[in-house]
Amino acid sequence: MSYLVGYGPRNDDRSAIELALQLARSRPEPVIAVSVVPRGWGTPAAAGTDREYEQWSALEGRQSAELARADFAAHPDIASDVPTEAVWVAGRSVPATLMEQAAERDAWIIVVGSAEEAEPGRVRLTSKTDRLVHSSTLPIAIAPRSYRTTSGVERVTVGFRDDDAGWSLLERVAELSRTEGARLRVVTFLVAPARTPVTSDVPHAETQVIDLWRTQAEAAQEEARAHLASLGLDDVDVALASGPDWPAAIASVGWEEGDILVVGSSSTHRLAQVFLGSSAAKIVRNSPVPVVVVPGAGT
């Protein structure tokens, strides 16, 4: 098994490699940085132009691989435990090529960085990463912009909801927690819906609804705790993350060095592999720590 890093040509942010090495500190496996560069079309009518394009593309690939090797070299502390490799390949679709490389190299996860427009410390998908997330059968780990760490994975927090997808995700994250040797925390996010101008007695009804949500969430979490204990995981934290909006709710549970957050798909249907529902997408955008998006189990 290995960690496959999607490393972009002319990348000015080594966050994806940082995250892959963090995962590898806890579960030592080879880390392979793959830079995907454009492939020429190979049409006879444009043979000369196409050759020049391929030469330029190859130069981009070699330079990107050199940058990745330099990023690996910034972490000599784990060089003896974790083999690293930086390569480049030509392809017409970055997401499809990364998935092909992941299959060829026996990767169990694909690690990527955030968009250049993301604020430091925040996660934001690029258009390519968004397509990768929605089509991959493997988990996708996304590093916040400018992410740096020297720790391993100390705690795995799973965003849990009481439905079929949530329970399926819980079991998969329990296994991830074991393999990474990390503590497990189960968090349910409760965010009040936007209030609309209505009669004065509705806010009281809204409060009652939120209280009911909280009661149901607490009961589901206790059930999840008991289920995890039956799987041999006794030291599990549970928490309700509530707030007037998503940033406040996510910040309310507290985050530490070595934390990662795991969210799942909104559907377990095979055709929806990893479809980020509105809640999961908001969690990803507001997470202050790396996020692992796990595809649905399929039906």
The pLDDT of 32-61, averaged and rounded, is 78
Per-residue pLDDT for 286 more than 80?
A: yes
Q: Is the pTM of this model over 0.75?
A: yes
| 77-81, 125-129, 253-257 — most confident range | 253-257
The pLDDT of 11-31, averaged and rounded, is 91
Q: Residue 193 has what pLDDT?
A: 66
Contact 79, 25 (CB under 8 A): no
Q: Residue 152 has what pLDDT?
A: 93
The CA angle 294-38-112, to the nearest 5 degrees, is 25
Token readout for 96 is: 């499809």
Please give the Cα distance from 137 to 129 (Å, whole number).
Answer: 14
Please give the Cα distance from 20 to 81 (Å, whole number).
Answer: 14
Please give the Cα distance from 9 to 60 (Å, whole number).
Answer: 6
- Read off φ and ψ for residue 141, nearest 5 degrees: -100, 130
Choice among 127-136, 190-199, 269-278 with the minimum mean pLDDT: 269-278
Per-residue pLDDT for 47 more than 80?
A: no
Contacts (Cβ under 8 Å, ≥6 apart) of 64: 7, 8, 9, 10, 11, 35, 37, 88
The pLDDT of 11-34, averaged and rounded, is 91
CA distances from 78 to 26, 36, 123, 259 (A): 11, 26, 26, 19
Q: How does DSSP classify residue 8?
A: -
Per-residue pLDDT for 21 more than 80?
A: yes
pLDDT band at 124 (very low <50, low <70, confident <90, very high): very high
Q: Residue 41 has what pLDDT?
A: 61
Contact 16, 115 (CB under 8 A): no
The pLDDT of 132-146, averaged and rounded, is 92
Token readout for 278 is: 């509105």
Q: Residue 48 has what pLDDT?
A: 62
Contacts (Cβ under 8 Å, ≥6 apart) of 65: 33, 35, 86, 87, 88
pLDDT band at 213 (very low <50, low <70, confident <90, very high): confident
Per-residue pLDDT for 39 more than 90?
A: no
Contact 72, 86 (CB under 8 A): yes
Choice among 99-103, 124-128, 203-207, 235-239 with the minimum mean pLDDT: 203-207
Helices of type H across the chain:
15-26, 47-73, 94-104, 127-135, 164-180, 202-230, 246-251, 278-286
If phi > 0 it is left, if psi is from -120 to 50 it is alpha, else beta; for residue 254 that is left
Output the CA torsion sign for 26, 29, 35, 41. negative
How confident is the model over 237-278, as pLDDT tens digits?
Answer: 999 988 888 999 999 999 999 999 999 865 444 433 344 556
Q: Are strands 155-159 and 183-191 parallel, antiparallel or unpaired?
A: parallel
- Which residue ranges form the domains of the chain, and what is each CATH number? 2-142 (3.40.50.620), 155-290 (3.40.50.620)
Please give the Cα distance from 48 to 31 (Å, whole number).
Answer: 37
The pLDDT of 43-47, averaged and rounded, is 54
How confident is the model over 84-103, as pLDDT tens digits?
Answer: 999 999 998 999 999 999 99
